[in-house]
Amino acid sequence: MIGEAALTEALDTLRHSFRAWLSAEAPQDWRATCTTHDGFLATQRAWFAKLAAGGYAVPHWPAEWPGGGRSLAEQKVIYEELARADTPRLLLSFMSTYHAASTLLEWGSAEQQARYLPRILEGEIWCQGFSEPNAGSDLANVRTRAERRGDVYVVSGQKLWSTMGQFADMCLLLVRTSSEGAKQAGLTYLLLDLKAPGVTARPIHQIHGDEEFAELFLDEVEVPVANRLGAEGQGWAVAQSTLSSERGLTLLELSARMRGALWRIADLIHNGGRGDDVGLLRDFGRLATKIDATCALADQFLANRIAGEERVGDASLVKLSYSRTLRDFTAFGLRLGGLRSQYHDPIVYGGGMETGNWMADFMNSYAWTIAGGSDEVQRNIIAERLLGMPREPRTWTLEPSA
């Protein structure tokens, strides 16, 4: 086993070499080019290709894949340096390299892995087709139907909130193949080619101007049975693997990026001539402390995972702290920016939630109180799984008002 001193030295070596690589390869003007969708797509594809060629795109993949086999501690170093260098977040390929890859690695056949994983490394874009109208994120209520006819499933229905769905090539699709028995038992997991006849992807225009999500309409779409992950009726279990991939190191990177963006608020205080406003500085200090606490929680979460001491619910602590602190961060920026910050300015596509476009950042921050499990869900998990409090009643109903 490698000693602590040797491990520290190895991580320092990785940090210095990756930092040097970033200084030469990281895009410098990406915020200016990402004000259009074409610019965003070109920047994301070029940056992912550079990272893949450099061996930094998929450090969480197994060692037999180029750039894979990195330890959690090494992945943390890579995320920290990406945040420090203020590089674009890989929003376009995030679903491909995490959700799709992890599900294929756990449930895919050798043929499926050999077919799809190299294409992901070459830049193929995947999205997720789980949520539906009237079902939200309650997977047990999925209604999109798939009927097996020989060697294909014929799929009809609608999916909602598919991140980057309008740009994607493939989709992780959860469908209902049976209405018998428990709802969960009737679900099946398919890999859908979004260029197949009968597929329509329509972007969803969001309140702050972005179109990060799409809705997918499926009309008698044929999906080969060979594109099924797991057995028919095993979709619930496969979907849990997909969702668990969200609980990786993403929050560590996001927290580091928020701390790195504190300078935007410091600049507003300085340039606004409010450097001697004691009350404002006190609030700024509280905000900085909350951000540091969120980063510390993320660090502790990773340390627990490395030590094999992670508890169910630990990730919820980090997620809840991040979503609440991000709201405070963007609200503080909006407050300092005054009336000018409330104008609707063009956004930077893929720029995250700390771009300095305070109105857009503030509205976008609400997404993190829902995405990946709402704050209410996280509080339930913390209460029930970490604090051992009684479970929420499952049978209560609202009494009609008199």
Q: Three-state secondary structure along 42-79?
A: HHHHHHHHHHHHHCCCCCCCCCCCCCCCCCHHHHHHHH
Question: Could you tell me which of 119, 124, 89, 160 has the C-alpha nearest to residue 349?
Answer: 89
Q: Cβ contacts of residue 100 below 8 Å, gap of 6+?
A: 116, 120, 126, 170, 172
| Closest residue by Cα to residue 319 from 257, 391, 377, 383 | 377
As annotated, the active-site residues are: 246
Residue 113: C-alpha distances to residues 93, 117, 271 (Å): 17, 6, 54
Name the one residue in this structure whose structure tokens are 């929003």. Answer: 91
Residue 338: CB atoms within 10 A of its CB come to 11
143: its two tokens: 């209604």
Task: Measure CA of the first residue to CA of the last residue in the chain; give whole Å.
Answer: 69
Provide the 3-class DSSP secondary structure of residue 275: coil
